[in-house]
Structure 1
Amino acid sequence: MDTQSLQAFLAVAESGSFSRAAEQLHLTQPAVSKRIAVLEAQIGARLFDRIGRSVGLTEAGRVLLPRARQILVMVDDSRRALSNLEGSVGGSLTLATSHHIGLHRLPPLLKAYTGAHPEVRLDLHFLDSEEAYQGVLDGSLEIAVVTLAPHPDPQLTVVPVWIDRLCFVCAHDHPLAKVTEPTLRVLCEHDAVLPGPLTFTRGLIEARFAAAGLGLPVALSTNYLETLKMMTAIGLGWSLLPERLVAGDLRVLAVDHPPIYRPLGYIVHRSRTLSNAARAMLEQLDAAREAAARNWETTGTGRSAG
């Protein structure tokens, strides 16, 4: 059972298509089909049902899927462990981050990292935090820099780096802009535009309102904070946005309620052997964490370099 056949099997299983798997692996479709056929011959079972243009896993395919992931992760771990013996920082680093962190927190850090380690090929993925969590758990991502979950999986090492203060905001001409010190109950008299219902940030907000016995009147939602900012600025509702995102464009509401904070940081799998490139990235992130902690102690804000 060779790793190339397993990679082809995973690509087809995850994409649901031989043609999309071929594009992902930079192969022809017949080459992917041949690798699947070799794997089916080796295990003596059919892995996919092909009905028209639809491709689905057979029972044997469903049994093999998690084991194929484990095998490929073990092979990658072995390669990294051997490569690490050289002591050089190079190769590929698969890193995922959310759009907001990637745009507003990581650029200075990534610039410093690529300058210090030009031999590293950075494979950067912009994903929702929840999807990035799963990628680290599955082994497809080496590091994720994301909004941290309130109850992370015990298989993960979770390290907070920054703290985002979420500000209650509205458009300058919104009715709430005229209220001196609105309460949560007053906010609930107006439509809200908030992150999607399955996001960690939305969970933090809902928990705070639920503790006050209130339900959120959400009119619109999206996982992209920059889009939320735009919708808030044109008056579609009030929102909660990171402090560094709202300067000047929105009215910050002095809500009669303790601030809401969300932790941002990195996650890695406890059982994974990290490459030297990944270890060097964690050193950069740890340095950013220390700088943010010093800044928090002196200013009480999450504004920090990197």
Structure 2
Amino acid sequence: MDWASLSAFVAVADRGGFSAAAEQLHLTQPAVSKRIAQLEQDLDVRLFDRLGRQVVLTEAGRLLLPRARQMLAEADAARRALQDLGHDIGGRLSLATSHHIGLHRLPALLRRFTALHPRVALDIRFMDSEQAYAQVLGGDAELAVTTLGPTEPPLVATPVWDDPLRFVVAPDHPLARMAKVTLADIAAHPAVLPDPGTFTHRIIAQTFARRGLSLQLRLTTNYMETIKMLVSVGLAWSALPQTMLDTQVQVLPVQGAQLSRQLGYVVHGGRTLSRAAQAFVALLRGDS
């Protein structure tokens, strides 16, 4: 069993076919087929069932897939560590983050990191926080800087910033004219929020549910800047991070309801961070 065969196996499983895997790996289809056949021979099991042009994982293939991902991630970490040994910090750092954090929290930190470590090649991927968790779990990203949600081993989450949320409306919204606003008042109007599966949506929805209130969703989108625009033109209310507040929206004086979320970084507790990732984490934590 070798790394090339494992890489081919994961590519075929992810892409659902030999041709697509060959395109991803920049190989010919026969070369991918040969690597899979060699892996099946080495392990003495069949990893895929061939159904015409489609391939599906066998029971043995499903068992191997997460282990193969972990082995490839460990091999990549080992290569990075050896490349960095005895030199200035270099190599590649794969970082998953949300658009909101990328716009409002990371610019100064990224500027400082690139100045301190110019040899590091940053691979920054913007996505929802829940997807960033999955990227770290699967070994596709070494580090995620994201909204923190429920975290289970082997993932480890470390808070860095408290991120208060404020209920907001357009300055000419009916709620904006009220001196005191309750959650029941807000629930009587349509909302625009992140998608229901997101950590932020759950925080907001649970706040209302604890009072026996349900939300009227006009629409959902995971782009906070889009949510702010829709609020500013009067289509709905929302809850925005304090870092986004300006004269385009008006904060509601809500009685007895505090919303907050935590932002931070997520790593895989079973993997050794590269020196580049360690340096980035040190900046996040304010250690350097």
> Does TM-score exceed 0.5, indicating one fold?
yes
In 2: Cα distance, 1:54 partner to 1:262 partner = 43
Structure 1 residue 102: deviation in Å?
0.9
In 2: Cα distance, 1:25 partner to 1:111 partner = 33
Q: Deviations over 1:43-81 (max 9, x none)?
A: 333323343443322222212112212221332343344
In 1: Cα distance, 2:114 partner to 2:29 partner = 35
In 2: Cα distance, 1:202 partner to 1:283 partner = 30
In 2: Cα distance, 1:223 partner to 1:17 partner = 31
How large is the Cα RMSD of the aligned pairs?
A: 2.1
In 1: Cα distance, 2:128 partner to 2:32 partner = 29
Q: Deviations over 1:98-144 (max 9, x none)?
A: 11101111111111111111110111111211111122222222111
Q: Deviations over 1:18-60 (max 9, x none)?
A: 3443343344444333332332333333323343443322222
- Report the equivalent of 1:58: 58
- Report the equivalent of 1:220: 219
- Report the equivalent of 2:15: 15
Q: Which runs of 5+ in 2 are unaligned?
A: none
Greater mean alpha carbon deviation, residues 178-187 or residues 151-160: 151-160
In 2: Cα distance, 1:193 partner to 1:248 partner = 19
In 2: Cα distance, 1:246 partner to 1:30 partner = 56
In 2: Cα distance, 1:124 partner to 1:162 partner = 20
- State whether residues 80 and 273 of structure 1, in contact with CA within 8 Å, keep that contact through their aligned partners in structure 2: no
Greater mean alpha carbon deviation, residues 88-97 or residues 130-139: 130-139
SS of residue paired to 2:264: strand
- Report the equivalent of 1:209: 208
Residues 120, 81 of structure 1: CA spacing in aligned structure 2 closer, same or farther, 3 A cutoff? closer
SS of residue paired to 1:249: coil
- Report the equivalent of 2:187: 188
- State whether residues 176 and 250 of structure 2, in contact with CA within 8 Å, keep that contact through their aligned partners in structure 1: yes
- Report the equivalent of 1:304: none
Greater mean alpha carbon deviation, residues 58-67 or residues 96-105: 58-67
Identity percentage of aligned residues: 56
- Report the equivalent of 2:74: 74
What amino acid sits opposite 2:169 in the alignment? C
- State whether residues 80 and 274 of structure 1, in contact with CA within 8 Å, keep that contact through their aligned partners in structure 2: no
Map residues 1-306 of structure 1 onto 2, 5 A cutoff.
Answer: 1-86=1-86, 88-149=88-149, 151-287=150-286
Number of matched pairs: 288
Residues 55, 214 of structure 1: CA spacing in aligned structure 2 closer, same or farther, 3 A cutoff? same
Greater mean alpha carbon deviation, residues 119-128 or residues 220-229: 220-229
- State whether residues 183 and 257 of structure 2, in contact with CA within 8 Å, keep that contact through their aligned partners in structure 1: no
What amino acid sits opposite 1:25 in the alignment? L
In 1: Cα distance, 2:42 partner to 2:128 partner = 37
What amino acid sits opposite 2:69 in the alignment? R
Q: Which runs of 5+ in 1 are unaligned?
A: 291-306
- Report the equivalent of 1:298: none
Greater mean alpha carbon deviation, residues 225-234 or residues 105-114: 225-234
What amino acid sits opposite 1:24 in the alignment? Q
Structure 1 residue 223: deviation in Å?
1.6
- State whether residues 46 and 60 of structure 1, in contact with CA within 8 Å, keep that contact through their aligned partners in structure 2: yes
In 1: Cα distance, 2:16 partner to 2:234 partner = 41
Residues 54, 179 of structure 1: CA spacing in aligned structure 2 closer, same or farther, 3 A cutoff? farther
In 1: Cα distance, 2:19 partner to 2:179 partner = 59
SS of residue paired to 2:64: helix
In 2: Cα distance, 1:236 partner to 1:28 partner = 52
What amino acid sits opposite 1:111 in the alignment? R
TM score, norm. by length of structure 2: 0.91
What amino acid sits opposite 1:255 in the alignment? V
- State whether residues 170 and 253 of structure 1, in contact with CA within 8 Å, keep that contact through their aligned partners in structure 2: yes
In 1: Cα distance, 2:244 partner to 2:184 partner = 25
TM score, norm. by length of structure 1: 0.86
